[in-house]
Amino acid sequence: MADPTRLGDYRAALEELLAGAEAELTEGELAALRTVVRERRNRRGGRPATECAEHVHEHVSRIVELLGAAARQLRPRETQELDDLVAGIRPAPELPARPPVRVRRYGRLS
């Protein structure tokens, strides 16, 4: 997918990167990947960086690059959704819209 511009495009590209990482890495390496991505996105000076294996670092750099590009084009709420996806938090399914219940003036349902 070349040059994503919308949230759906970035989500699809990120899910593709995460699926590739899940196929290659162990559970411990995936936990390290999530930790290092979060640290690099929320970089604070003076803290030592978490060490990870070189093959994990390759996945981290691709994911952080994609999230950085998304941050330049998307709203903060949308980039937070992508950060949650990396952290393993899946979005809640959307509920179907229901029409509002009309209440009469005297409090009885119609």
Could you read off the pLDDT of 49-96 as tens digits, one per residue? Answer: 788 889 999 999 999 999 999 999 999 999 999 999 999 988 788 888
What is the percent of the chain where pLDDT is above 90?
61
Q: Where are the alpha helices (DSSP H) in the chain?
A: 7-24, 27-41, 54-73, 76-87
Q: If pLDDT is split at 50, 70 and 90, which confidence band does 17 have?
A: very high
Q: If pLDDT is split at 50, 70 and 90, which confidence band does 37 have?
A: very high
**Whether the Cβ atoms of residue 56 and residue 29 lie closer than 8 Å to each other:** yes
> Would you say the pTM of this structure is higher than 0.85?
no
Give me the residue spans of the domains in the chain. Answer: 7-87
The predicted pLDDT at position 45 comes to: 67
